[in-house]
Amino acid sequence: MNRSVMPEGKLVEPVLEKRGRFADLLDAKYLRTTLQIWVIWLGISFAYYGVILASAELLERDLVCGSKSDSAVVVTGGDSGESQSPCYCHMFAPSDYRTMIISTIGEIALNPLNILGINFLGRRLSLSITMGCTALFFLLLNICTSSAGLIGFLFMLRALVAANFNTVYIYTAEVYPTTMRALGMGTSGSLCRIGAMVAPFISQRALLLVNHFILYCRCEINGELSRTQTKRN
Which DSSP string do the residues of 149-174 spell out, in sequence order?
HHHHHHHHHHHHHHHHHHHHHHHHHH
Structural domain including 124 reads 24-78+85-199
* 111 falls within a domain: yes
Query: What's the length of the chain?
Result: 233
At position 182, the amino acid (one-letter code) is A
Q: What is residue 38's predicted lDDT score, i.e. its pLDDT? A: 93
Asked if residue 232 is part of any domain, the answer here is no
State the pLDDT at residue 201: 79
CA–CA dist 169, 10 (Å, integer):
43
**Is 110 part of a structural domain of the chain?**
yes
The CATH number that applies at residue 91 is 1.20.1250.20
Cα 14 from Cα 231, distance rounded (Å): 77
Q: Establish if 126 belongs to a structural domain.
A: yes
**Alpha-carbon span 196 to 187, nearest angstrom:** 14
pLDDT in tens, the chain (233 residues): 888 888 888 888 877 667 778 888 888 888 999 999 999 999 998 888 888 887 776 666 655 554 444 444 444 444 444 444 444 556 667 777 777 788 788 778 888 888 888 888 888 899 899 899 988 988 887 777 777 777 788 888 888 888 898 899 889 988 888 888 888 999 999 998 998 888 887 766 545 545 554 544 555 455 554 444 444 44
Q: What pLDDT, on a 0 to 100 scale, did the predictor assign at position 80?
A: 45
- The pLDDT, as a whole number, for residue 216 is 47
pLDDT at 195: 87
Cβ neighbours for 203, distance < 8 A, ≥ 6 positions apart: 49, 50, 51, 53, 54, 57
Position 89 scores a pLDDT of: 56
Q: How many domains does the chain have?
A: 1
pLDDT at position 34: 92
